[in-house]
Amino acid sequence: MLRETGGDRVVAVGELKRGDVVLVRTGEKIPVDGEVVGGQGSIDEAPITGESLPKDKGAGSTVFAGTVVESGALDIRTERLGQDTAFSRIIALVETAESEQAPIQRLADRVAAWLIPVVLVFLVGVYLVTRDIRTIVTLLIFTSPAELGLATPLVMIAAIARAARSGILIKGGVYLEALAKVDVVVFDKTGTLTANRPRVVEVRPFGSGLDEKALLRWAAAADRRSAHPLARAVVEAARERGVEAPEPEDFEQVPGRGVKALVEGRVILAGNAALLRENGVALEADVQDGDRTPVHLAVDGVFVGVIFIADTLRPGAREALAELRRSGVKRLVMLSGDNQATAEAVGREVGVDEVQADLLPEDKVAAIAALVAQGHRVAMVGDGVNDAPALARADVGIAMGGGGAQAALEAADIALMTDDLAKITAARAIARRAYRTIQENLFVGVGVVHVLGITAALMGWIGPVQAAILHLGPDVLVFLNSVKLLRVRIRGA
């Protein structure tokens, strides 16, 4: 909505120019990078910055295209449009990262690179010694590397089909082979290891004589009519704990501060410390607790307690990371755009080896590049727009598809159709099984059988006709060994 002197009107984003003021309401996506010049609101910036909790914005605040107004309404003066926005710069970074990604070579390609020259030298040598064309024809049949063309594609078709049945979409067999060799897995935090859903984690009374349930009852009653994500978390916590929250007789949303409500004849304030101070409520000091967001509560002008809210771990996160370790992954790393305290708290809880926080998208790409430069095979798991460049730069990019951004899904090599971290361990298990099957096909179906056939030909036990018949054996063996992947049972799949 473009704000003009003559009134507001709806225009296409392409018609906006620098300096225009646009109105963005609750539930709408911000179309430009700019500065807030009016109004108050709460913005979900997780797709761009990785911040786990919504950020309150007021006059003078900076906002980004692609983020969503969770509550309130904002007048935004346009500063950057189109290709100049942070979102577009991230997409450009994806293209750069993809061009820098090292090419992945298949095992079959490496085998073929030395096998064919060796076979030709061998045949020439045999002819020079024996001068026997019949033996050479027999050897040509048994040294033909035809199974190399079957050994990998059959396995990959079966493995990709098996993964798809489990909700894991793989964009090519080459990425399955790469995933099997990965020794470092890098995770985004918000929306990947955490559910990106604020929840009450502690209710702490402060010398008021109220217990936790009473404190939660007043807070939930005040927040019942608020659309703010933190308010919804408080109301949901009360419902989960069986606390009945009465309907407020009066309600006022204070943008950037919290709420003020009249409940059962008592004035309730629920919000940040600034809200309480502006209403004359004495606080000894701001109550802060590192990685958790405090909601201060006052009843009739008296500070009574704090409700702490934090993003919660995604179900099964610890178990999934432990399973990855058991599968041979040597190092687990978490990269986050969130603050250091929040990131480290989540890192400790899920059990990663290293945490890097306060990162911009280009910083994540640099972190991935540094790991690759150290000789590691790196997989990156993410869900947001800000993760897309890192997904493209990693040897294997894995996108959480249930709530993942389109940019992340397009940049990734593997997409999970549900936000279930167990699917990552399942994809890894399928990849390792597929790679082992390729090795079996090459070294048993091609190697051992061909060595036996070549030996029989050199000894004169078989001729060209028998060789042609026996040569069908490796083909059948490779086929049967490959299709077994369709029926294999994988934990988590």
Mean pLDDT estimate for the chain: 81
User: Considering 277, 310, 343, which residue would you say is the last residue of a domain?
Assistant: 310
Q: Are residues 176 and 29 in the same domain?
A: no
CATH of the domain at 333: 3.40.50.1000
Q: Which amino acid is at 432?
A: R
CATH of the domain at 71: 2.70.150.10
Question: Does residue 407 lie within any of the structural domains?
Answer: yes
Given a cut of 80, whether residue 249 has pLDDT beyond it is yes
Give the range among 168-172, 280-284, 351-355, 400-404 with minimum mean pLDDT: 400-404
Residue 186 banded pLDDT, cuts 50, 70, 90? very high
d(CA 259, CA 268): 8
Q: Are residues 61 and 12 in the same domain?
A: yes
d(CA 35, CA 308): 30
- Of 41-55, 92-106, 429-443, 454-468, where does the model show the most confidence? 429-443
Q: Are residues 324 and 436 in the same domain?
A: yes
Q: Are residues 372 and 437 in the same domain?
A: yes
Range of the domain at 59: 2-84
Sign of the CA dihedral with 418 first, then 422, 424, and 430 last? negative
CB atoms within 10 A of CB 9: 9
pLDDT given at position 99? 53
Q: What is the pLDDT of residues 9-47, one digit of tens each?
A: 888 887 888 888 889 988 888 888 889 988 888 887 766
Q: Are residues 347 and 415 in the same domain?
A: yes
Residue 104 banded pLDDT, cuts 50, 70, 90? very low
Question: Does residue 458 lie within any of the structural domains?
Answer: no
188 is catalytic: yes
d(CA 204, CA 265): 24
Please report, for residues 43, 188, 204, 318, 366, the alpha-carbon distance to residue 332 in angstroms, rounded to integers and kept in the order given: 30, 11, 34, 12, 17
Q: What is the pLDDT of residues 329-362, one digit of tens each?
A: 999 999 988 778 888 888 998 999 999 988 888 8
Question: Does residue 446 lie within any of the structural domains?
Answer: no
Sign of the CA dihedral with 361 first, then 364, 366, and 372 last? negative
Residue 367 banded pLDDT, cuts 50, 70, 90? very high
Given a cut of 60, whether residue 51 has pLDDT beyond it is yes
Among 44, 56, 75, 188, which one carries the catalytic annotation?
188
Question: Does residue 92 lie within any of the structural domains?
Answer: no
pTM of the model: 0.70
Q: Are residues 348 and 406 in the same domain?
A: yes
Radius of gyration, alpha carbons of the chain: 31
Q: Are residues 326 and 213 in the same domain?
A: no
Given a cut of 50, whether residue 232 has pLDDT beyond it is yes
Q: What is the pLDDT of residues 256-314, one digit of tens each?
A: 788 999 999 999 999 888 889 889 988 865 566 666 788 999 999 999 989 998 888 88
Q: Are residues 228 and 251 in the same domain?
A: yes
Q: Are residues 187 and 212 in the same domain?
A: no
Q: Are residues 213 and 302 in the same domain?
A: yes
Please list the alpha-helical segments (H only) found in 241-293. 273-278
Residue 91 banded pLDDT, cuts 50, 70, 90? low
d(CA 207, CA 283): 12
Q: Are residues 337 and 435 in the same domain?
A: yes
Question: Does residue 286 lie within any of the structural domains?
Answer: yes
Q: What is the pLDDT of residues 447-456, one digit of tens each?
A: 666 677 777 7
CATH of the domain at 263: 3.40.1110.10
Given a cut of 80, whether residue 421 has pLDDT beyond it is yes
pLDDT given at position 115? 66
Q: Are residues 267 and 332 in the same domain?
A: no
Q: Which residue has the higher pLDDT, 477 or 233?
A: 233
Tokens of 15: 């018609």
Number of domains in the chain: 3
Question: Does residue 483 lie within any of the structural domains?
Answer: no
CA end-to-end distance (rounded Å), the chain:
46
d(CA 27, CA 73): 9
Question: Does residue 7 lie within any of the structural domains?
Answer: yes
Question: Does residue 433 lie within any of the structural domains?
Answer: yes
User: Considering 402, 421, 441, which residue would you say is the last residue of a domain?
Assistant: 441
pLDDT given at position 171? 83
User: Considering 401, 423, 441, which residue would you say is the last residue of a domain?
Assistant: 441
CB atoms within 10 A of CB 160: 21
Q: What is the mean pLDDT of residues 155-167?
A: 84
